[in-house]
Structure 1
Amino acid sequence: MIPIDRARLSELAYRVDFDRQFIEFTKEDASTLNAAAPLLLPIITDIVEGLYEHLFEWSYTKEPFTHRNTGFEGDLKSIDDLSLDDPQMLLRKKMMTMWTAKILTSDYEDPKTFEYMDKVGVMHTGVRSFGRQPGFAHRENKEPLFIDLQALSLTLGWVTDVVLTIVMSFPRTTLSTSKKMAVLRAFNKVVWIQQDLFARHYTRTDEEAAVNLARINAEKASEQEKERIAKEEEEEAVEDKLAQLAVKDLPDVSL
């Protein structure tokens, strides 16, 4: 059994090393992605266009694009007026194109690759950097960008499905069946590592969760106590009012 120091999973290098071991992402997987890059890079633009068309189908996944993105200083449009060709969206699509290209071309033995993927996770959490979080330099002191983890996870799932469909559609003269399987397995593994590097900035450890739960319970108890006191005061006020009315209604028995 391989020992894992749970406390060290907050360290990026240690966490990624465990991710790679567990999911069995090897040097061969990395080489497979790099080798497939010439086939997939020319169609990344189409993949990204399809992704954003899909995201625009629901208000939940379109609404985040109505907020200002780092590097964009133009006018923002409402959710109803925003189109895929607006400057704000062109910038977003450029960033997604860059991420997809990096997944295919990066050196996975270089720690900077996973530092980049981790920063992608940080920048979507709504956390301001101000030197506290290892976010991108261009987000220092900027308005926070927040995207729900659910939306991020579904986006990765959609992209994975599209890449699977594209790779499987290549003729065997271009890519043999065994190589198709190798590309898809490698891509899937990297996507799950990225998913973990999203999740680690959204979720808490058991200890942190326990502290947070205790705080929530304390706040709930405090609110319940306030409600109890308010109810008692209300009941006392009603009783006092009834007592006053009863005194007024007593017959005059003075001689």
Structure 2
Amino acid sequence: MPSPTDNAEDAPTNAPATCPMKEWPRALHHIDRKELYVNLESRIHYLHTFLDFSSNDIEALINGSKYVKALIPAIVNIVYRKLLQYDITARAFQTRSTSFEGPLDEFPSEDSPQIMHRKMFLRGYLVKLCSDPSKMEFWEYLDKVGMMHVGQGRQHPLHVEYIHIGACLSFIQDTFTEAILSHPRLQLYRKIALVKAMGKVIWIQNDLFAKWYVRDGEEYAGSETDKVAVEEEGYLHGQRVVGEPDEMLSSGNFSASAG
């Protein structure tokens, strides 16, 4: 008996294509690719489900916020000490761009006015990371942080190349992880929960940086860049969403300071 392949050349070539997913033995979650690039809420929902970001993570962030807030001033100093160790990252504070390769008149130090100014905003940003991630405003602001580093949405554009963004986020995560795991008063199960929740938030932030840098989904790009509003740092849709960092660290009005 001839095998099925013997007459393969005689087989019709105009047979309709079949989708292999239709034959998949189990149900799959459908993700609309276009929605990932044109709808921030859809993108966040996908990342939440993929990373199993749940109410447990939100609870861990809220209950652990008072411990994280106490770490923030020291972590800010550590981060800027690291950034000022390299000329390519230090130049962003002098030229507002890491791609500039010309000479610098002087390198900023940890006590330079522009560094003290940047430290203030990093403190506010890190406090924001520990606020209420159940609200879409939380993720909108993290997306805006990504946008602002590619030269959009600011009166004085800032351009930081993605390699430095990714390295800095990893350094922040590593510093937080060590500080939380070595905390003398937190029980182990709370340390684990807080480290996991912080890690997920930071990796979603990493994606929201990458979203503005990579070319994936560019076929769906329309005139979104024309709609970008120029706002002060700490503002979203004209409303302040990141308060004065020193006040937030000491205020009892911080929304995620329960626990």
Task: Tell me the TM-score normalized by structure 1.
Answer: 0.69
For the residues of structure 2 that align with 1:147 and 1:19, how far apart are their CA atoms? 24
Q: Which has the larger radius of gyration?
A: 1
Q: Deviations over 1:155-178 (max 9, x none)?
A: 01001111111111112xx21111
Amino acid at match of 2:94: T
Could you tell me which runs of 5 or more consecutive residues in structure 1 were left unpaired when the two chains were aligned.
Answer: 70-77, 128-134, 210-255
For the residues of structure 1 that align with 2:200 and 2:175, how far apart are their CA atoms? 15
Identity %: 33
Q: 1:9 aligns with which of 33, 36, 39?
A: 36
Contact 2:150 / 2:213 at 8 angstroms: preserved in 1?
yes
Task: Note if 1:145 corresponds to 2:145.
Answer: no
Q: Deviations over 1:188-245 (max 9, x none)?
A: 0000000000000101126649xxxxxxxxxxxxxxxxxxxxxxxxxxxxxxxxxxxx
Is the alpha carbon distance of 1:60 and 1:208 closer, same or farther for their aligned partners in structure 2, counting shifts above 3 Å? farther
Deviation at residue 68 of structure 1 after TM alignment: 5.5
Is the alpha carbon distance of 1:206 and 1:12 closer, same or farther for their aligned partners in structure 2, counting shifts above 3 Å? closer
Report what 1:21 is aligned to: 49
Contact 2:89 / 2:164 at 8 angstroms: preserved in 1?
yes
**Worse-superposed segment, 145-154 or 80-89:** 80-89
Task: Note if 1:39 corresponds to 2:67.
Answer: yes
Task: Note if 1:83 corresponds to 2:113.
Answer: no
For the residues of structure 2 that align with 1:7 and 1:115, how far apart are their CA atoms? 19
Task: Tell me the TM-score normalized by structure 2.
Answer: 0.68
Contact 1:164 / 1:184 at 8 angstroms: preserved in 2?
yes
Contact 1:62 / 1:79 at 8 angstroms: preserved in 2?
no
Amino acid at match of 1:80: E
What secondary structure sits across from 1:109 in the alignment?
coil
* RMSD (Å), alpha carbons: 2.0
Is the alpha carbon distance of 1:21 and 1:155 closer, same or farther for their aligned partners in structure 2, counting shifts above 3 Å? same
Report what 1:175 is aligned to: 186
Q: Deviations over 1:79-117 (max 9, x none)?
A: 63421111111111111111110111x221211111100
For the residues of structure 2 that align with 1:169 and 1:177, how far apart are their CA atoms? 10
Structure with a larger share of its residues in helix: 1
Contact 1:122 / 1:198 at 8 angstroms: preserved in 2?
yes
What secondary structure sits across from 2:91 in the alignment?
helix
Contact 1:117 / 1:197 at 8 angstroms: preserved in 2?
yes
For the residues of structure 2 that align with 1:199 and 1:62, how far apart are their CA atoms? 21
What secondary structure sits across from 2:110 in the alignment?
coil
Is the alpha carbon distance of 1:120 and 1:186 closer, same or farther for their aligned partners in structure 2, counting shifts above 3 Å? same
What is the aligned residue count? Answer: 187
Is the alpha carbon distance of 1:207 and 1:112 closer, same or farther for their aligned partners in structure 2, counting shifts above 3 Å? closer
Amino acid at match of 2:30: P
Report what 2:122 is aligned to: 96
Q: 2:139 aligns with which of 98, 110, 114?
A: 114
